[in-house]
Amino acid sequence: MKRKFNKIILSMAALMLVACAGNKGNSVSTEPQTQTPVQAQTQAQTKTLPNGTPAYDDAAIAASYYMQQLAAIRTDSLKAVESTDWLKFRKEFLKCRLSQPDRFNASALETVIKLARKSGDKDEELKVSQELLDMDFTNIFAHYTIATSPNVDDNVKEFHKQVVGGLLRSIRDSGQGNSTENAMYVINIGEEYDFLHFSGFKPIRQELIEENGRQYDRMITEGNDGKKYQFYFDVTDFFGHY
């Protein structure tokens, strides 16, 4: 089965034949707007994340692997894409998002992209996808949209194809996905659907499992061969927060 994933993910021509599903997460609650900047910064410094680690304040976000590597990617393009640890990149983005949910929540923009795609407005679809990546560069849906847009040149398409491949491989390589013990790591529900769709599996049913204090999604799917397959995804780090 893993050989099948390698073939599908490394061949972007095959990827482009599969419909991409967007993220389906909801935003977490925001901090009260009556806070002063000093109060907000103090709270960010003392706030803890679901796993008990301290939340990132502005300085920690700026120094995070996500932000530092993102700057390198935008400077060196494909060279930096190849050297990026995409699993670490995604985990660091999750910590940034949980620390400051408003700043990194792109759910509303995803909805706009889907509506633009449905109406056939390619210009709007491309513009909003680029805006979405300014908030969340881990978003496979937005990268795929740009990679398949008729309104960008081949170099831009290739860049986003390579990012899609890196993100998908980081999900696949995080675990075999055939049990809770080796579940694949995801940072939102949308990644589960993106991975399955790009890999040629149709989701049939989603079940939540709690085991040893961790939460997992078990996805029952149907492959291109008509057979049923199940995949396990570790959702612990963001479960119940968006």
Q: Does domain 106-173 have CATH number 1.20.1050?
A: no
Percent with pLDDT over 90 in the chain: 68
Instruction: Supply the DSSP symbol for 11.
Output: -
- 2 pLDDT exceeds 60? no
Helices marked H in the chain: 2-10, 12-15, 37-46, 58-63, 65-76, 78-83, 86-99, 101-104, 107-119, 122-135, 140-147, 154-172, 189-198
Mean pLDDT of the chain: 84
* Cα atoms in the 13 Å half-sphere on the side-chain side of 89: 25
* Cα atoms in the 13 Å half-sphere on the side-chain side of 40: 11
> b/e string for 68-80 if b means 16 or more Cβ within 10 A?
ebbeebeeeeeee
| pTM > 0.85: yes or no | no
Could you tell me the residue ranges of all domains in the chain? Answer: 37-103, 106-173, 184-234
Beta pairing class for 214-222 and 202-211: antiparallel
Of the pLDDT bands very low, low, confident and very high (cuts 50, 70, 90), residue 58 is very high
CA distance 82 to 23: 24
Q: Are 23 and 189 in contact (CB under 8 A)?
A: yes
The fold for domain 184-234 equals Dihydrodipicolinate Reductase; domain 2 (3.30.360)
- 43 pLDDT exceeds 60? no
Of the pLDDT bands very low, low, confident and very high (cuts 50, 70, 90), residue 152 is very high
Of the pLDDT bands very low, low, confident and very high (cuts 50, 70, 90), residue 167 is very high
CA distance 7 to 153: 26
Pair of tokens at residue 162: 């390579």
